[in-house]
Amino acid sequence: MTTTRRLFAQQSLAALGAGTALAASAASGSSNAIHRPALLLPRRLQPGDTIGLVAPSHAFFEREPFELAFEAVQAMGFKVKPGAHLRARYGQFAGTDAQRAADVNAMFADDGVAGILALRGGSGCSRIVDKLDYGLIQSRPKFFGGFSDLTALTNAIHARTGLVTFHCPMGTAEWNAYSLNNFRQLVMEGEAALLRNPTPERGDALVAKNDRTRALRGGKARGHLLGGNLSVLAGLAGSRFWPDFRGAILFLEDVNEPIYKIDSCLSTLRLSGALDQLAGVVLGGFTKCEPGEGYGSLTLDEVFDDYFVKPMNIPVYRGASFGHIKRQLTLPVGAAAEIDADAGTLQLLQPVVLTQA
């Protein structure tokens, strides 16, 4: 590890621990403290760098999505290196478990690859989470990004290695101006950015309906960011890839899940003890998460009240711009941030990439 990387890791870990239950446990000399690897930051991405495109989840069944992803990454100023099995298929997956894991490991091992971006989500990452070479990843930290099903890998990699990973648009995303600018701020420019929704626009309507945030419980708190897709995250509970939630700010989104499934997944998080340890909660898009069939359903409002508002006295806000929506924030998994639920913002407490080699 270079002197610069070691300094950034030390500074990041110090900021991360401030005000959290982990720091309190360490101060009291508790022998029950869970080991959390020292924070590792990837080098910032620069124009001309090579991005490895991998497909750890579903396959595509047409050629055009590959073309669009290559063009998007190149338009950002990067070179593209496709994974060896990027176009493979095994059932719905982009190759066998061994092939998909091998592509991720190979990209971390390749010193010519500066960062790794997932082509798409779907399902299947949980099948390879135990097949990654975490020792290799820890020894060669670099940018790794994706969302949705990639939640399994972004959280597992951080939990096992300390590397900050990124919940961000994938290769086949739209990469509109909002999403791209936010990505560049964090990953290419190394800014300790303020993460907030686009300014709501009402047009000729009386009130703006889009891009609004709403505090379910106001206040501010500091902690490390963990989360992503709720149903995928819940699938890691009880495994050795489960992150350390003490003092964390949990961010969640989901898509195409009935409300009873959202309730069930939150119950899993509660029973695991994760919810009791949080410093704050940020809820993004829960796209097409509807009641489904049956005798009736709780609303999402009621479910969130039951798990986050009634039993907890921490800041919580809803409507953040991430998830299966058009304009997406990039969220650094493992990085220290301050939540302001009343303002609907997350302020990063330090850069989340190394700004020097």
Report, as residue numbers or ranges, the catalytic residues: 148, 253, 324
| CA–CA distance, 282 with 270 (Å, rounded to integer) | 16
| CA–CA distance, 271 with 264 (Å, rounded to integer) | 10
| CA–CA distance, 108 with 18 (Å, rounded to integer) | 31
Name which of 181, 214, 185 is nearest 347 in CA terms: 185
CA atoms within 13 A on the CB side of 273: 7
DSSP 355: S
Residue that is written with structure tokens 């995303």 in the block: 173
Q: At 38, is the secondary structure helix, strand, or coil?
A: coil
Name which of 333, 124, 121 is nearest 243 in CA terms: 333
| CA–CA distance, 134 with 264 (Å, rounded to integer) | 30
**Nearest-10 Cα torsion for 209, 289, 284, 323:** -110
Outline where DSSP puts E strands in the chain: 50-54, 79-82, 115-118, 143-146, 165-167, 194-196, 214-217, 220-229, 248-255, 280-287, 316-318, 331-333, 336-340, 345-348
